[in-house]
Amino acid sequence: MTDARADDLAGDFAGVFADDLELGLRLADAADAITVDRFRASDLRVDRKPDRTPVTDADLAVEDTIRGLLGDA
C-alpha cells in the first residue's frame, strides 16, 4: 500500500524516491506515536548516555522501533 504523501512529496521523482519516502514516513509516524504519548509524561525516565548527555525512555523506544522497522524493510 503506497502512502499518498510519499507520492505527493516525490513529485517528478516519484518512481525513484517514492518507496524511500514511504519508508521515511512510516518511520516518522511510528516515532511520532511514541513521542507524543510520552510528551510531558509524569513518569518519563531520563538516564545518561556514556557521554553524559540525556536520553529518555521515549528516545530508546523510538530507536528500538525504528531499528525493528528498518530490519523488516
Neighbours of 4 (CB within 10 A): 10
**pLDDT on residue 19:** 83
Task: Enumerate the β-bridge partners of residue 48.
Answer: 54
Query: How large is the angle between the packed helices 57-72 and 14-38, nearest 10 degrees?
Result: 150
Give residue 22's pLDDT. Answer: 87
Radius of gyration of the CA atoms of the chain, in A? 16
Predicted local confidence at residue 47, as pLDDT: 98
Please tell me the predicted confidence (pLDDT) of residue 7: 61
List the pLDDT tens digit at each of the 73 positions of the chain. 456 666 666 566 666 777 888 899 999 999 999 999 999 999 999 999 999 999 999 999 999 999 999 998 7
- State residue 1's pLDDT score: 46
| 58: containing domain | 4-72
Spatial CA neighbour of 25 closest among 2, 58, 54: 2
